[in-house]
Amino acid sequence: MREVCDRHGALFVLDEIMCGIGRTGKLHAWQWENLSSPPDIQVNGKGLAGGYAPIGAVLVSAKVIDMLSAGSGEFINVYSYQLHPVGCRATLEVLKVIKEDALDSF
């Protein structure tokens, strides 16, 4: 899919809400594929906070950052239930464990 998206100038988007953050044996499920580069947009959730609190995240590539910078320069995403402190703190702790235990290299 990466090659097809690149060929047609489309963004390569992956949903890793259920399969990301180590659930497949790699930090990101797409790492099992022989991709020429990571996805342009990736959504994560659930595993980010270790199941302790609801959380979601959108990861974007430098390509998307450049596109946003050339436009409005902003990425606006607003919901009534966002920035929950427990979810944010749980996510920070999960990411800390991943880094400290070198789980991002599995």
Rounded average pLDDT over 36-51? 89
Residues in a beta bridge with 58 = 43
Rounded average pLDDT over 54-72? 88
Determine the Cα–Cα distance for residues 13 and 49; give it in Å rounded to an integer: 22
| pLDDT, position 78 | 65
* CA-to-CA dists, residue 45 to 8, 33, 41, 96, 100, angstroms: 29, 21, 14, 16, 21
| pLDDT, position 104 | 65
Place 14 in a pLDDT band, splitting at 50, 70 and 90: very high
Structural domains in the chain, sorted by start: 2-105 (3.40.640.10)
Determine the Cα–Cα distance for residues 15 and 92; give it in Å rounded to an integer: 21
pLDDT at 51 over 70: yes
| pLDDT, position 25 | 84
Give the three-class secondary structure for 58.
strand
**Residue 77 · residue 49 · CB < 8 Å:** no
Rounded average pLDDT over 34-39? 84
